[in-house]
Amino acid sequence: MAVPVAASLLCPLLLAVCWVVAAGTAAGEKILPSPSNLNYSFIHICTLNWTWNPPENISSGCNLEYSSDIVINGVPEDRREWSKSRFRVTDAHLNEEMRLRVRSECKNDNTSEPSSWVETSLLPKGIPGTAAVDLSCVWHNLEYMACTWRPGENASSDTNYTLFYWFDGLENPTKCSNSSVGQGIFECIFNFTFPKITSTYPPISILIRDDSEEIRPVCASKNPTTLVKPATPRQLTLSKTNDGIDVKWSESETFPKTCLRYEVIKYCNGDLDNGEIIPSEVNSVPVADIDANSKYTFKVRAKPKRECYNSDFHSDWSEEKSIGEKRDSTIYIVLIITIPLIVAVSTIILLVYLKRLKILILPPIPDPREILKRMFGDQNEDSQSPAKDDPMNAFDRLIIEEEINSLILTETSESTNPEKENR
Ligand SMILES: *[C@@H]1O[C@H](CO)[C@@H](O)[C@H](O)[C@H]1NC(C)=O
Ligand SMILES: *[C@@H]1O[C@H](CO)[C@@H](O)[C@H](O)[C@H]1NC(C)=O
Ligand SMILES: *[C@@H]1O[C@H](CO)[C@@H](O)[C@H](O)[C@H]1NC(C)=O
Ligand SMILES: *[C@@H]1O[C@H](CO)[C@@H](O)[C@H](O)[C@H]1NC(C)=O
Ligand SMILES: *[C@@H]1O[C@H](CO)[C@@H](O)[C@H](O)[C@H]1NC(C)=O
Ligand SMILES: *[C@@H]1O[C@H](CO)[C@@H](O)[C@H](O)[C@H]1NC(C)=O
Ligand SMILES: *[C@@H]1O[C@H](CO)[C@@H](O)[C@H](O)[C@H]1NC(C)=O
Ligand SMILES: *[C@@H]1O[C@H](CO)[C@@H](O)[C@H](O)[C@H]1NC(C)=O
């Protein structure tokens, strides 16, 4: 019972062991020797030249190539390259552990195994967390580069970071001297210009470090065409034409003519939420569909063209310019407030006036007691009422007017007297 079980367990095991040993010995004879003396040197600031010597005793039938790979902080970058030359140029990552490994291979030769890897590493200097972070650069108007960064979290607050830059065409790495610090953000600006006919730009290497050994340096390589930001368009002018408005602005002096496109925004009557975007390939655009009774406001910005630059930045918006008759909204507001006010006031005046008029047209019914009192108590005055001659008439009219006045008075006093209503 135990024998078959043991055999069934042993057989695959032995087979596996035998296979491994066979493979090892078979390949062992043909494993290539490794390259030697792997080392590196800096080219300018942020570029490394890794160099090595060829392996010895390579058979003449071997088509020798070197395979190399980069390992950052222990993680292979999978940037394998094969070459016949005995060096490889890479970007330097000064704030991370960087290793390069190389082995020799015979191409088109299945009789030999690649050599084992040889490695050399470049260890970061300084204290972890002191390197500058959040480095970003913008290439303004193809004229100057503006880079910003923040201090590392473990860097002391008075760290004096310095930016150095280099690109193909610059003899030596250059220190950026126009620097400033504000609200914990460092900025440095340096000239970065090329003849206008240039259409390809070299990558730019940027190194930020401090003279202190404790501050960890950091390197970055940037493709300038991804950082292009055009200048704000200037001299925006608007002119009325027969069938619309001509919007014009000054052409860029630094960009090739065909490398910018523009976005014009049209606002109608100050409605900033509903702008209409009008694209343009040149530095002017005709705008039709214009309402003569509206005010139009325009602003423009420039964008780099994809054919020239691989950049997503656009310029800032230009100043705004307006054209056209503006139906002044403040006048409307004043009218909206004053018209009802005038109507209300005049209504009140009219009502008061009407009341007086009503009294005149339809005199209030006199109090009978008053009439009786007048009729019987004051006969002398009453008998004189009908008009006989002119002076008397005038006198009578005065009296009648006085009576009316007194009636108005009694009427108003009566209306304000609640006791009268109760009776
Ligand atoms: C690597 O090169 C440097 C000089 O660039 C030299 O000082 C160093 O000894 C070299 N290392 C090896 C292992 O050859
Ligand atoms: C790198 O170093 C090797 C050996 O010194 C040299 O032949 C090669 O030109 C260097 N590469 C660059 C890009 O400088
Ligand atoms: C290269 O071959 C020679 C003889 O052909 C031998 O003496 C030498 O040890 C070999 N070197 C290596 C590194 O195998
Ligand atoms: C090597 O490749 C050739 C053809 O490409 C083939 O005939 C030969 O058997 C291969 N040898 C080994 C050891 O795989
Ligand atoms: C800052 O220093 C502390 C202590 O030395 C360390 O634990 C931390 O990881 C550092 N921060 C960074 C971002 O490396
Ligand atoms: C930075 O520079 C200032 C003046 O130049 C100096 O007082 C300060 O100590 C420096 N900071 C460091 C960390 O060296
Ligand atoms: C330094 O930068 C400012 C803008 O921040 C600029 O106005 C000034 O001209 C620059 N100075 C030099 C020497 O480039
Ligand atoms: C940058 O260029 C401008 C003119 O293009 C010049 O006035 C200025 O001095 C330059 N700045 C530096 C730091 O070279």
For residues 202-221, give the mean pLDDT: 91
Atom 1 of ligand 7: nearest residue by CA position: 178
The answer to whether residue 128 is domain-embedded is no
pLDDT at 374: 67
Q: What pLDDT does 167 receive? A: 92
pLDDT at 111 (0 to 100): 75
Least confident piece of the model among 207-211, 323-327, 365-369:
365-369
Q: Are residues 35 and 109 in the same domain?
A: yes
Whether residue 14 is predicted with pLDDT greater than 50 in this model: the reply is no
Say what the pLDDT of residue 403 is. Answer: 57
| Residue 410 located in a structural domain | no
If asked whether residues 190 and 263 sit together in one domain, one would say: no
CA of 110 to the centre of ligand 4 (A): 6
- The answer to the question of residue 354 being in a domain is no
Taking CA atoms only, the protein residue closest to ligand 8 atom 2 is 191
Q: 106: which 2 tokens? A: 């015979």
**61 has pLDDT over 60:** yes
Same domain, 83 and 159: no
What pLDDT score does 371 carry?
A: 59
Atom of ligand 5 nearest to the CA of 152: 13
Residue with the smallest CA separation from ligand 3 atom 7 is: 57
pLDDT at 335 over 80: no
Nearest CA to ligand 4 atom 6: 110
Q: Which of 71, 94, 122 is the last residue of a domain?
A: 122
Q: How confident is the model at residue 6 (pLDDT cuts 50, 70, 90)?
A: very low
What separation in angstroms does the CA of 32 have from each of 58, 106, 114? 7, 8, 6
Per-residue pLDDT at 16 = 38
Position 202 scores a pLDDT of 92
The amino acid at residue 19 is W
Q: Is residue 88 part of a domain?
A: yes
- Output the CA torsion 207→208→209→210 (10° steps): 140
Quickly state the pLDDT bin for 398 (edges 50, 70, 90).
low
Last residue of a domain, one of 323, 347, 380: 323
Residue 396 is predicted with a pLDDT of: 60
Pick the residue with more confidence: 108 or 421? 108
Q: What is the DSSP letter of 113?
A: B
Q: Rounded to the nearest whole angstrom, what is the distance from the C-alpha of residue 111 to the centroid of ligand 4?
A: 8
- Domain-located, residue 389: no
Q: What is the structure's pLDDT at 136?
A: 94
For residues 162 and 201, membership in a common domain is answered with yes
Q: Which domain-ending residue is among 122, 149, 179?
A: 122
* Residue 409 in domain: no
- Categorize the per-residue pLDDT at 358 as very low, low, confident or very high, splitting at 50, 70 and 90: confident
Three-state SS for 344?
A: helix
SS3 190: strand
Q: How confident is the model at residue 157 (pLDDT cuts 50, 70, 90)?
A: confident
For residues 41 and 109, membership in a common domain is answered with yes
Q: Which residues contact 70 (CB under 8 A, 6 or more apart)?
A: 76, 77, 79, 90, 98, 99, 100
Q: Which range in 20-34, 128-142, 242-256 is most confidently predicted, on average pLDDT?
A: 128-142
Residue 92 lies in a domain: yes
Domain span holding position 224: 133-228
At 247, which CATH number? 2.60.40.10
Closest CA to 319 of 246, 233, 245: 233
**pLDDT at residue 332, rounded to an integer:** 62
Ligand lying closest to the C-alpha of residue 131: 5
Q: How confident is the model at residue 260, as a pLDDT? A: 92
12-16, 89-93, 234-238, 384-388: the lowest-pLDDT one? 12-16
Q: Are residues 218 and 234 in the same domain?
A: no
When pLDDT is cut at 50, 70 and 90, the band that residue 418 belongs to is very low
Index of the ligand 4 atom closest to the CA of residue 111: 13
| Domain co-membership, 145 together with 216 | yes
Q: Domain check: are 265 and 221 in the same one?
A: no
Tell me the mean pLDDT in the region 276-287. 90
Q: Identify which of 10-19, 58-67, 374-383 has the greatest average pLDDT.
A: 58-67
Average pLDDT on 54-68 reads: 85
Q: Which pTM value belongs to this model? A: 0.68
Q: Is residue 180 part of a domain?
A: yes
Same domain, 75 and 100: yes
Closest residue by Cα to residue 269 from 251, 293, 300, 253: 293
Cα–ligand 5 centroid distance for 48 (angstroms): 27
- What is the tally of structural domains in the chain? 3
Please tell me the distance from the alpha carbon of residue 380 to that of residue 378, in angstroms, as a whole number.
Answer: 6
